[in-house]
Amino acid sequence: MSGGNRPYDVLMSTLGDVEERTSADLVCGERTPAPWESAMQATCECLSSGGTLDNLERRQAEDRLGESVYARFPVHTRSALIVAHSLMDRDVITEEELRAKMKEVRARLEMV
């Protein structure tokens, strides 16, 4: 179980891109999932079947961190945040690596 409770800046900076979650209402209307969400789900399955990050542990971390340090993020962004957070917590990747990779990915995607 990842123990880190401090938010990572590289993740907090993504908040500008989504509408902040201001209500804990149960029923929040229908939303069409974005394509990255199913890709993220596949990443979760790969990490779990490969033994890097068990699905149940990830879900528990999503609950814990999603209701605390990342409480301002909408629920559908939790898996992305928490997978990244957990991999950094476990020193599988570093924050610098992630920041650099995001920059590289962004540049590549914006080229088209």
The single residue among 5, 49, 95, 96 that binds other proteins, judged by CB under 8 A, is: 49
Q: What is the smallest separation between the CB atom of 5 and other proteins, expressed in angstroms?
A: 17
- Please report whether residue 98 would count as binding other proteins according to CB under 8 A: yes
Q: Which residue's CB is nearer to other proteins, number 6 or number 107?
A: 107
- Name the region of 91 (left: φ>0; alpha: ψ -120 to 50; beta: rest): left
Write each residue from 25 to 44 as x if it is in contact with other proteins (CB under 8 A), else as -, in one continuous string: xxxxxxxxxxxxxxxxxxxx
Nearest one of 79, 73, 18, 97 to 43, comparing CA atoms: 79
The single residue among 4, 7, 14, 90 that binds other proteins, judged by CB under 8 A, is: 14
> Residue 21 to residues 50, 90, 101: CA-CA distances in angstroms?
32, 28, 27
- Please report whether residue 9 would count as binding other proteins according to CB under 8 A: no
